[in-house]
Chains A and B, each alone.
Chain A
Amino acid sequence: MTIGIGGAGSRLALKLDRDATVVNVSQTELAKVEARNRILAVVHAAQGQLRGSRKDPRIGESAFQSIRQELLHLAEGNLVVSSTGGGTGNGITSCLLRELANAEDLAVERRTRFALVLPYAKLEPAEYVVNTTDFLQGPLSDAIDNGNTGNIFLFSNKVKFEGRLAEDDFNNKLAASFQMLLDLPGKNDELKLLDGHIDHEDFDLFLSKPYFNYFTYFHHDPEQPFGKQLDKHRNPLILPPDNPIEALFVYEVPEGGDPRPFYDILEHFAPQDVNPVYSVLENPKLKKPFITLSLLYSRKPAELVEDFNRVSQEHAEAKVRKSIEQHVNLPKLEVNLQTEARKMARQQGASEDDILQILKRLGKLK
């Protein structure tokens, strides 16, 4: 089952799974999505439930308590989809991650996987970047340390903004890409097995490990070095990986094709002490070999946080510059405190000149 949290998370979750459960703090937002299962997280606000969380994760966090038990139960062993920039997705997912970080060791089958969509810092609001930085440094980092999550997929909005895609088109693209990975055990059921084996249990076990998951897929050319092809066919929808700890791939060859190039792939990972889980299948629909590869890496998103911080800082500086240029013309002030004090005093009482005038009028000065 898939659970979509917040507006963006819900829309993407429904692309991945038509039976997804969606969670929001806004009745208006919930009404907009065509979902069978909707959960309203209650916000204690004077405005009622019609307003969203206005990019403020604290609103999502306060609403979490109203759905805590239900969400913890639903999320067990399932996929949670959320964006990290907004208020609802970030706030509620943060609370969920904190609960997991504080939980005792969870059995593999109970671990929640997270598909998180990160903002494209260059073009999206600075608040999204700040929210994401806090999210990555705080709850996500803690949950990873504790090891109670399943795979975490860090998707990026970069392709959407650089390609000027409509959100629906982007979600379709992202869901189609994700589906390529999720379809792997199904392919193993349907297609003729030539070597290795990945069944549903193997795949679930792989997805239940507390690492970041990067995946990609492409037509494989057995004549070219695998490493070069991997670099060339990076998945632009998901953040690039660090050194892999574990790998899984499905190598599909056309009918009657040579299955042996998969050894090249095993050899590619051998120097990194990674022994991939794999299967080689015969797919009659294909004309060229095709590989779907998933890598698990354990790096904390430190560089990512650093990058977000830098962009956030640039945003803040640009905003300050803009406001100064547009609204404030600051002259250079040379302030003499003594003169200013006298000026203030003059506003309150008589000036020195006034006193001298008075003394002259009184005729008491010779």
Chain B
Amino acid sequence: MQQQELFQEQVDGLEAAHFLVLCWAAAAEDRTSRYNITNCFDDLKFSGITRTKQSAVSVIDALARLRFIELREEGNRRHIFITRHGARALEHLVLKRKFTPVKSYFLEGSKP
């Protein structure tokens, strides 16, 4: 019960940037694409959410520490994968309609 409560609080603390990273990571995995930190930074930048890589990294780091995403070292890249907890968190946010999805420029293949 308390675990559920903690999870709820963790999800409620997420912001739009976290929501989008979870969306994009899930979409990339669905397409069997590799989605790395640089791709994520580009998407956040093109979506107008951040202009610095540090901010993008801190969003990713927060999600990783909450175990909502998993960062895997593959070659010299760190790829992002959504975890089961992350999938639940994303489901929760989607059902609550708290944030609006925005397309990933990396996955859609076009930049503004």
Query: B94 contacts which of A345, A352, A366 (Cβ < 8 Å)?
Result: A352
CB proximity of A349 to chain B, nearest CB, Å: 3
Q: Would you call A270 an interface residue if the criterion is a C-beta within 8 Å of the partner chain's C-beta atoms?
A: no
Is A349 touching B91 in the complex (CB atoms < 8 A)? no
Q: Which residues of A contact B104 (CB under 8 A)?
A: 349
Q: Would you call A346 an interface residue if the criterion is a C-beta within 8 Å of the partner chain's C-beta atoms?
A: yes
Digitize B50-61: 1 where CB-to-A-CB distance is under 8 Å, 0 elsewhere. 000000000000
CB proximity of A336 to chain B, nearest CB, Å: 13
CB proximity of B81 to chain A, nearest CB, Å: 9
Interface centre among B26, B90, B97, B102 (most CB of A within 10 A): B26
Is A359 touching B101 in the complex (CB atoms < 8 A)? no
Q: Which residues of B contact A348 (CB under 8 A)?
A: 102-103
Provide the bound-state CA to CA distance between A350 and B22, in Å.
13
In the complex formed, the residue of A with least CB distance to B100 is A345
In the complex, how many residues of chain A place their beta carbon closer than 8 angstroms to a beta carbon of chain B? 19
Is A350 touching B84 in the complex (CB atoms < 8 A)? no
Q: Which residues of B contact A350 (CB under 8 A)?
A: 23, 27, 101, 103
In the complex formed, the residue of B with least CB distance to A348 is B103
In the complex formed, the residue of B with least CB distance to A357 is B30
A-B CB pair tally, cutoff 8 Å: 58
Query: A362 contacts which of B29, B95, B101 (Cβ < 8 Å)?
Result: B29
Q: Would you call A31 an interface residue if the criterion is a C-beta within 8 Å of the partner chain's C-beta atoms?
A: no
Interface SS of chain B: helix, strand, loop or mixed? helix
CB proximity of A122 to chain B, nearest CB, Å: 56
Q: Would you call A342 an interface residue if the criterion is a C-beta within 8 Å of the partner chain's C-beta atoms?
A: yes
Q: Would you call B82 an interface residue if the criterion is a C-beta within 8 Å of the partner chain's C-beta atoms?
A: yes
Provide the bound-state CA to CA distance between A358 and B84, in Å.
13
Q: Would you call A361 an interface residue if the criterion is a C-beta within 8 Å of the partner chain's C-beta atoms?
A: yes
Question: Which 8 pairs, one residue from A and one from B, show the smallest C-beta to C-beta distance?
Answer: A349-B103, A364-B87, A345-B100, A349-B101, A358-B30, A349-B102, A352-B94, A364-B84
Interface on B for A, CB 8 Å cutoff?
23, 26-27, 29-30, 82-84, 86-88, 90-91, 94-95, 97, 100-104
Contacts A350-B23, A364-B88 aside, 19 further interface pairs with beta carbons under 8 A come to A342-B97, A342-B100, A346-B101, A348-B102, A349-B23, A349-B101, A351-B101, A352-B95, A355-B27, A355-B101, A358-B26, A358-B27, A359-B87, A362-B87, A364-B82, A364-B84, A364-B86, A365-B84, A365-B87
Q: Could you pull out 8 A-B pairs where Cβ atoms are within 8 angstroms?
A: A341-B100, A345-B102, A349-B23, A350-B23, A355-B27, A355-B101, A359-B90, A359-B91
